[in-house]
Copies of this chain bind each other. A is one copy, B any other.
Amino acid sequence: MILVKIGGSVFSDKAGEPENFDTETVRRIAGEIAEFYPNEEFIVVHGGGSFGHYHASEHAIRDGLPGEWESDRRKKIGFSLTHQSMLRANARFIEVFLSQNLPAFSVSTSSIFLTERGEIVYADIEVIERLLELDFIPILFGDVSVDVAQGVDILSGDQIMAYLTKMLKPKKAIFLMDVDGIYDGKPGEGTLIPELAREEVPGLLERLHCTAAGTDVTGGICNKLRKAYEMAHYSEVWFVNGKVPGRLSGAIRGDGFGTRLR
């Protein structure tokens, strides 16, 4: 089993038009998955890009419910709008995968997970496991979440990856990003790290000035590295450029260009 996270910046331009979607890139990614399916089982998780974020930040979903009836009602409506926007992104993925003859199936993240301040505290992955047994490719997504501490929150695709890796122990968990992998410094400035041992991660986090809090709404590279550090207990973790043809298949084969975390 291989988990693939398709980062928002890979399929969408967050600074562009609302809900823009790079069909060509997603079709190429699906094509690389098709080279290995059905010999390999796959689960795909995608981020938000230009979907979801608008409503999520407009309504400050991460701050939870304020606890006053009318403000709560407005925020709940924003919460629902955010989910619908993510469902539209997900529908585009499903459409592309099906057109490549891959039996992808949408699983609604917010229907099966509960969070506590954005961290998963409850999950039901029974349907996902059954879908895998039937050789479906479940496609999940970063989404809003019902939160036991603050009513509502956001559940990032990276969190879902970490949770599924822990529960399902895949051979590989691959993060597709819009940079070539993990850099020892700023992306494009520092040196790309081709191989990283788990025990080197804490030192790297320090060099990258990763503080306790995340750097963007769903966590940037610091959060990704922290999650990867947990995940490396259970699976090999790869960070590769999802924009460049062949990088995903390289990671699946195991000889690809990017960062490999053992």
Give Cα A103 to B71, complex, Å: 12
Q: Scoring A residues 57 to 83 as 1 if CB is less than 8 Å from chain B, else 0, what string do you get? A: 000000001000000110011011101
A112 at the interface (CB under 8 A from B): yes
A131 at the interface (CB under 8 A from B): yes
Instruction: Please tell me if the beta carbons of A111 and B111 are within 8 angstroms of each other in the complex.
Output: yes
A91 at the interface (CB under 8 A from B): yes
A183 at the interface (CB under 8 A from B): no
A126 at the interface (CB under 8 A from B): yes
Instruction: Please tell me if the beta carbons of B83 and A105 are within 8 angstroms of each other in the complex.
Output: yes
Number of residues on chain A facing chain B (CB within 8 A): 40
| Cβ contact of A114, chosen from B73, B80, B127, cutoff 8 A | B127
Provided the pairs A91-B84, A91-B87 are in contact, do residues A103 and B126 lie with their beta carbons within 8 angstroms? Answer: no
Instruction: Please tell me if the beta carbons of A80 and B104 are within 8 angstroms of each other in the complex.
Output: yes
Instruction: Please tell me if the beta carbons of B105 and A107 are within 8 angstroms of each other in the complex.
Output: no
How many subunits of this chain does the assembly comprise? Answer: 2
Give Cα A77 to B105, complex, Å: 8
A73-B103, A87-B87, A110-B127 given. 11 additional CB < 8 A pairs?
A73-B101, A76-B135, A79-B105, A80-B105, A84-B106, A87-B106, A107-B108, A108-B111, A112-B124, A124-B126, A131-B146
Instruction: Please tell me if the beta carbons of B84 and A94 are within 8 angstroms of each other in the complex.
Output: yes
CB-CB under 8 A from A106, the residues of chain B are 80, 83-84, 87, 108
A208 at the interface (CB under 8 A from B): no
Which of A77, A80, A131, A148 gathers the greatest number of chain B CB atoms within 10 Å? A80
A163 at the interface (CB under 8 A from B): no
A151 at the interface (CB under 8 A from B): yes
| Cβ contact of A111, chosen from B94, B107, B114, cutoff 8 A | B107
Taking CB atoms and an 8 Å cut-off, the chain A residues in 84-110 that contact chain B are 84, 87, 91, 94-95, 98, 101, 103-108, 110
Instruction: Tell me, rounded to whole Å, the shortest Cβ–Cβ distance linking A30 to chain B.
Output: 13
Q: Which A-B residue pairs are the 4 nearest by beta carbons?
A: A108-B108, A76-B103, A124-B124, A111-B111
Provided the pairs A84-B91, A112-B127 are in contact, do residues A65 and B107 lie with their beta carbons within 8 angstroms? Answer: no
Instruction: Tell me, rounded to whole Å, the shortest Cβ–Cβ distance linking A46 to chain B.
Output: 15
Instruction: Tell me, rounded to whole Å, the shortest Cβ–Cβ distance linking A75 to chain B.
Output: 9
Instruction: Please tell me if the beta carbons of B98 and A81 are within 8 angstroms of each other in the complex.
Output: yes
Q: Scoring A residues 132 to 148 as 1 if CB is less than 8 Å from chain B, else 0, what string do you get? A: 00111000000000101
CB-CB under 8 A from A135, the residues of chain B are 72, 76
Instruction: Tell me, rounded to whole Å, the shortest Cβ–Cβ distance linking A83 to chain B.
Output: 6
